[in-house]
Structure 1
Amino acid sequence: MNFDAHSDIWTDVTQHHLKGERDIFRKYHYERLKKGQIEGGIFVIWNDPPYDKDPLKRTRQMMEAIACEEPDCADILKVSHSYSDMMTARSEGKMYAFIGLEGLKSIGEDLDLIDEFYQFGARHAGLTWNEENPLATGALGTPERGLTDVGRRAVRKIQDLGMILDVSHLNDASFWDLLDTATGPVVATHSNCRALCNRPRNLMDDQLKELARTGGIVGLNSFNEFVHMEEDKQTLENLVKHLVHMVEVMGIDHVGFGFDFSEFLEGDTLGSFSSQSTPFTIGLEDASYVPNVIEEMKRVGFHEDEIEKIAYKNWHRIIKEVVK
């Protein structure tokens, strides 16, 4: 089975919820995930363009959609708040989802909102998406601007609450400021290797090493533009080369999956981060193709115990250690 540390399914749930639909996860996502042997993961609240103009309103919209969806799909999906919740879901044959926060633009400088989101069920948070905000700077922001004082306080609050702290989307200055501030495991749920694809969203080798030093994990990202600079080389084979490189740099205990599938996103939302006609890696078009990753891992020489660590065991360890 596989754990996907980054999914935008709540965005799709919200879009259908706003149209008056119910039982959305079952209708649009369950079978695809089941085919891909995805047992669970982190489903994020993301202030997707154009809704980022009023990020707190959008966050509350998404929270309302999640609250309505949860009872509709309770027989197949458990919204989990702890390691024990996750293990209960597994024993009952259900999928499970931890609620994540992909960026905290919505809070401005009001750190009390992090407590509110935690009480709602959020167990993961990153400080930014690609933008600059009052906490930190994303990958497309001013290169020299790092964490603010409020951002450093947010890091400490996130970790004190027992939430998984995520550096994905931070620029380099904010990454290093966060690592100077944080204690314990820090993760990048959905990032690849800059040594293989020179994009600012990908991580340099010294960043990979530092995340491993904290005890953290990096999740392999299937978004095609993070796989290779040349479009015809954005293939499953080249994606798995990122996995091999991560293991060589970080060690087998610090690598996982964070696929970031986005084929179900559309319009301004998809266009806000994708410059190509499709967002997927060739051979990994959506979650149903994840078994292809496992087969490619076997082909390049990963052993069964190594595959299990990357597929789910490493993320389970982080959840058990961090989430209170």
Structure 2
Amino acid sequence: MVRNRQRRVADFHCDVLSKLQASPDIDFRNDSRLDVTLDRLLAGGVELQVFAVYLSTRREKASFERILGQIESFRNKVAGIGGLQWLRWKEEAAEQINTPTGRGMLSLEGVDGLEGNLFYAQLCFELGVRFIGVTWNYANWAADGVLEQRNGGFTEQGRKLVDWCNGSGMLLDVSHLAPAGFWELAERSIRPFIASHSNAAAVCGHPRNLSDEQIKALIAMDGRIGLTFVPWFVRDGGLAKAGDVLRHIEHICSLGGSGQIMFGSDFDGIDCWVEGLEHPGKYAEFAELLLARYPEDAVNGWLHGNALAFLAKNLPSKEIQP
């Protein structure tokens, strides 16, 4: 059987926008200061890339103004001269399944910059953000992050945020959320959620990875887990090769989660890389590595099918907007 070497890929997390905000002269199309560029997306067959709005709250005060600045960078440099179409609605996701096109999506990594104001959350939705990751490792006004030792759940205002997301169609992302918050969200949310860039803790014990119980909960709700290429999330000790990612795939499949696997590289959020997965142009080689060991239908699901099916089912509909 002849296989098409250019596989279709969806990647659910990168941190390009914070670099564009810090260095406005960066050219998204081919700048060497970026892991993710338009040229590399094309080389790797990445037809959908999710771009996170990330504010480094450990170094500077988060503000809504800084969120707006990164959204503007996406509008002008990624969806503008960068040439990617903007995916916001379930109808567009359904179209993407049948008609591959280079597209980008917006997510928010940590709600610190919303300043506890749900009107700001609504503005983000109207400006095209479709995923909210509640925390980035530490506590904020909504919930505790995974590195907070107290392992707290949601605050009262955080619960209001969850309810607003359920009503508006904004999807939720539990990567970085403390375990107590994960389980509270699993009980409170009426919609499935994702972990955009997390791996299996049973394979690599980093606290950012998910326990088997958390993975089973995502499977039960038909959520998604985006396996990430952060070396110290892939292999204990941090010296990882592309083949080490397969151990996470196999473990999640052993739990019944083949249909929930996707990828969330975290490119441009790291300063060292998995050998063989240094940038999105490497996805083509990674696809061949997967195809050498697993059925083609399963590989296509992991690379793009599971992600697009989730979006086509769970994104808000353009037809019912006011």
Q: Same fold (TM over 0.5)?
A: yes
* Corresponding pairs, count: 304
1:61 Cα deviation (Å)?
1.8
Structure 1: which 5+ residue stretches go unaligned? 271-277
Q: Provide the C-alpha distance between the structure 2 equivalents of 1:290 and 1:314, rounded to a whole number of angstroms.
A: 16
Residues 315 and 90 from structure 1, CA distance in 2 versus in 1: closer, same or farther, beyond 3 angstroms? closer
1:256 Cα deviation (Å)?
0.8
Match of 2:119 among 98, 104, 112: 112
Per-residue CA deviations over 1:45-85 (Å, capped at 9, x if unaligned) read: 111356642332321221232233256326x3112211333
Q: Provide the C-alpha distance between the structure 2 equivalents of 1:91 and 1:204, rounded to a whole number of angstroms.
A: 34
Q: Provide the C-alpha distance between the structure 2 equivalents of 1:318 and 1:255, rounded to a whole number of angstroms.
A: 11
Match in the other structure for 2:29:
26
Q: Conserved in 2, the CA contact under 8 Å of 1:6 and 1:260?
A: yes
1:298 Cα deviation (Å)?
2.2
Q: Conserved in 2, the CA contact under 8 Å of 1:7 and 1:258?
A: yes
Q: Provide the C-alpha distance between the structure 1 equivalents of 2:99 and 2:296, rounded to a whole number of angstroms.
A: 25
TM-score w.r.t. the length of structure 1 is 0.87
SS in 2 for 1:230: coil
Q: Conserved in 2, the CA contact under 8 Å of 1:163 and 1:322?
A: no
Match in the other structure for 1:241:
247
Q: Conserved in 1, the CA contact under 8 Å of 2:97 and 2:308?
A: no
SS in 2 for 1:64: helix
TM-score w.r.t. the length of structure 2 is 0.88
Residues 151 and 49 from structure 1, CA distance in 2 versus in 1: closer, same or farther, beyond 3 angstroms? closer
Q: Conserved in 1, the CA contact under 8 Å of 2:84 and 2:103?
A: yes
Q: Provide the C-alpha distance between the structure 1 equivalents of 2:58 and 2:66, rounded to a whole number of angstroms.
A: 10
SS in 2 for 1:26: coil
Q: Provide the C-alpha distance between the structure 1 equivalents of 2:62 and 2:237, rounded to a whole number of angstroms.
A: 35
Q: Conserved in 2, the CA contact under 8 Å of 1:51 and 1:58?
A: no
Match of 1:257 among 263, 270, 283: 263
Q: Conserved in 1, the CA contact under 8 Å of 2:229 and 2:273?
A: yes
Match in the other structure for 1:273:
none
Alignment of 1:1-324 (within 5 A): 1-17=8-24, 19=25, 24-28=27-31, 29-48=37-56, 52-69=60-77, 72-73=80-81, 76-86=83-93, 94-232=101-239, 234-262=240-268, 278-300=271-293, 302-324=294-316
Compare relative contact order (CA 8 Å, sep 6+) and give the higher one, 1 or 2: 2
Residues 147 and 50 from structure 1, CA distance in 2 versus in 1: closer, same or farther, beyond 3 angstroms? closer
Please provide the CA RMSD for this pair: 2.1
Structure 2: which 5+ residue stretches go unaligned? 1-7, 32-36, 317-322
SS in 2 for 1:293: helix
Amino acid at match of 1:72: G
Q: Provide the C-alpha distance between the structure 2 equivalents of 1:309 and 1:133, rounded to a whole number of angstroms.
A: 35
Q: Provide the C-alpha distance between the structure 1 equivalents of 2:67 and 2:230, rounded to a whole number of angstroms.
A: 24
1:321 Cα deviation (Å)?
1.2
1:37 Cα deviation (Å)?
1.0
| Aligned residues with identical type, % of pairs | 26
Q: Conserved in 2, the CA contact under 8 Å of 1:158 and 1:165?
A: yes
SS in 2 for 1:185: coil
Residues 50 and 194 from structure 1, CA distance in 2 versus in 1: closer, same or farther, beyond 3 angstroms? closer
1:89 Cα deviation (Å)?
6.5
Amino acid at match of 1:163: M
Residues 87 and 322 from structure 1, CA distance in 2 versus in 1: closer, same or farther, beyond 3 angstroms? closer
